[in-house]
Amino acid sequence: MAAPPKKAFPLRLDPALYGAIERSAATDLRSVNAQVECLLREALAKRGVKLADPVRAKRGRPPKEGEA
């Protein structure tokens, strides 16, 4: 089962802000996109906005026929 599609939209950022996010992402071993999503989730949680946990794509080899 694939993860649900994500909403794509353009985002314009100050180059210095993007650079800071890029460095933070590298430190956390994440992509810039994943880091932005993580930072947004943290900011919303800090404000008391509750979100459902993100649906993660299943990783690894799919089960063989007959296995569950």
For residue 3, what pLDDT is reported?
66
Amino acid of residue 57:
A
At 6, list the tokens: 């994500």
Q: Going residue by residue through the chain (68 aa), what tens digit of pLDDT does each one get?
A: 566 788 899 999 999 999 999 999 999 999 999 999 999 999 999 999 988 877 777 778 878 887 65
For residue 51, what pLDDT is reported?
86
CA atoms within 13 A on the CB side of 35: 16
At 26, list the tokens: 């590298």
The answer to whether 4 touches 54, Cβ cutoff 8 Å, is no
pTM of whole model > 0.85? no
Amino acid of residue 54:
P
For residue 68, what pLDDT is reported?
58
Coil, helix or strand at residue 31? coil
